[in-house]
Amino acid sequence: MKILVDMNLAPAWVAVLRKHGYEAVHWSAVGDGRAPDRVVMQWAREHGYVVLTHDLDFGAMLAATGGESPSIIQVRTQDVFPGHLEGLLLRVLKEHEAVIETGAILVVEEARARVRVLPLGPPRGR
Specify the CATH number for the domain of residue 111: 3.40.50
Number of structural domains (the chain) is: 1
- Whether residue 111 lies inside any domain: the answer is yes
- Whether residue 122 lies inside any domain: the answer is no
pLDDT in tens, 7-39: 999 999 999 999 999 999 999 999 999 999 999
**Rounded (5°) CA angle 82-105-75:** 25
pTM: predicted TM-score of the whole model, two decimal places: 0.93
- Whether residue 126 lies inside any domain: the answer is no
- Whether residue 124 lies inside any domain: the answer is no
Domain of 102?
2-117
List of E strands, the chain: 2-5, 23-26, 50-53, 72-75, 104-108, 113-117
- Whether residue 97 lies inside any domain: the answer is yes
- Whether residue 67 lies inside any domain: the answer is yes
